[in-house]
Amino acid sequence: MRITGARVIVTCPGRNFVTLKIVTDEGLTGVGDATLNGREQAVAAYLEQHVVPVLLGRDPARIEDTWQALYKGAYWRRGPVTMSAIAAVDTALWDIKGKVAGLPVYQLLGGRSRDGVTVYGHAAAETVDDALTDVARLVDAGYRAVRVQTGVPGLGTTYGVSADPRTYEPAGSALPAEAVWSTPRYLAHVPAVFARVRAEFGPDLRLLHDAHHRLTPIEAAALGRDLEPYRLTWLEDPVPAELQEGYRLIRQHTTTPLAVGEVFNSIWDCRRLITEQLIDYIRTSVVHAGGISHLRRIFDLANLYHVRSGSHGATDLSPVCLAAALHVDLSIPNFGLQEYMPHSAETDAVFPHGYRFAGGYLHPAEEPGLGVDIDEDLAARYPYRPASLPVNRLEDGTLHSW
């Protein structure tokens, strides 16, 4: 069998997605997600100009060899654009291999390590009262874990909060929008939010919170300490992860579990955090960390150091990525949680899939391969629309994080 074609499909059924579809001379196809929020066209061009020509004529069964060829064949290695492109190829080849074997991909990864994949939902609202209502909505739907975000009093907007969290999309205008941020207001507000959530929903519901890289290590340490009475499952992205030594300071001051990694692209980005046990959950995703093959390497390393998975799974990743993630989640021994934000009806129509949500768990499709595809005719009805992620400035005008 040989690869005879590979198509890069950019579509926007409510938000932009990049998909690679590989075709073989025996008529089998495989799909991979290459979406990079706010930089979709960069990955599409990388695939079309640098990757697709390398794929033509290759044996699709040689997944590891193809991964190494794409990684080592680029002198300028790693980075989100390169690794998202490699991820799309890798995921599509696993899809094809599953179809050749007549098995769902998780069976090729060692089979089930659990019956279902526990997911967490997003409760987000401007006010605490509305956030509590949203938590109740998710609990009623069967979620066993909920990430809680609210607006910060005195600030006009807050990243991570929208009018309807079920359709939340942070990328908006073609050029980055700017908002105002205040760390002191935020640090004073968040512990009170979780005091109310715990009081209303009791000790058993798993609670999470995302700081979106906004804090310094000592600020993050203080927040983690203040949140300890409410027993969070994790505090996510407390500080920018470029200086990983900062997590040592946070660890010295709080027992609140820490999660990070959705912006990481390789095992080398998180090696120190894992091997020094500075985090509890690693949140790398299939699409941004080099595909199923490389994500498994990261999770295998994490397993040696008591670090569990917590893969990114917001709606800036397509159903192709989510389907792939579920096969990995089901098979690894050190699974923690999987983020899950349901896609829009338009997106689900463009990406028909067999995975399903039931009772707080996601279940991958049982059909051969990943159990997801792309309707190319329908995708063509939704042309690309430029959209950028916002940025924040402090109240004095200093450019800050999200």
Tell me the catalytic residues: 159, 212
Task: Report CA 249 to chain centroid distance, whole Å.
Answer: 26
Rounded to an integer, what distance in angstroms lies between the CA atom of residue 2 and that of residue 14? 35
Distance of CA 394 to the CA centre of its chain: 27
Residue reference for tokens 């579920």: 326
Q: Coil, helix or strand for 31? A: strand
Hey, what amino acid is at 176? P
Q: Are strands 145-150 and 206-210 parallel, antiparallel or unpaired?
A: parallel
Q: Is the CB of residue 125 less than 8 Å from the CB of residue 161?
A: yes
Query: Each residue of 365-398: b (16+ CB within 10 Å) or e?
Result: beebbbbbbbeeeebeebeeeebbbbebeeeeee
| CA–CA distance, 212 with 114 (Å, rounded to integer) | 30
Q: Phi, psi at residue 12, to the nearest 5°?
A: -135, 70
Instruction: Give the distance, in angstroms, between the CA of residue 9 and the centroid of all CA atoms in the same chain.
Output: 20
CB-based contacts of 33, cutoff 8 Å, min separation 6: 17, 18, 19, 87, 88, 91, 286, 287, 317, 318, 320, 321, 324
162: left (phi over 0), alpha (psi -120 to 50) or beta: beta
